[in-house]
Amino acid sequence: MTQEPEIPFLGFGSPEALEAAITKEEDDEFVVYAEGVFYASVCSCLPESEVVARMARRPSGTSSGWTLTEEGIKDGTPNPCPCDEKPSTHQHYLFAA
């Protein structure tokens, strides 16, 4: 009996490899706390350039990848905005894919 060749899972080989790629950069300084196909929200104390760079390396649901949205959040809050829990150190960022 011949074994079928393994088909890559979204280019990552397996669901486990995809999950590892998605979460490998998360830590206390950078947390993706909400993520869907087209939008993701990040809480971070890192400089904006580092947050954008980390999200650029993160797989998204589209071929264009994650980009920091230029418009504010729908309720008029600017992007980024201070974190509710740690406003002196952390910002919330909204990304679109």
Domain boundaries, the chain: 28-96
Where do the H-state alpha helices sit in 1-97? 15-23, 48-57
pLDDT of residue 15: 72
Separation of alpha carbons 34 and 42, rounded Å: 7
Candidates 73, 68, 45, 37; CA nearest to 55 is 68
* pLDDT recorded at residue 75: 84
> How high does pLDDT run on average in the chain?
84
Q: Please list the rounded mean pLDDT of every run of 10 residues in the chain (97 residues).
A: 60 68 74 92 97 91 90 86 96 95
Q: pTM for this structure?
A: 0.75
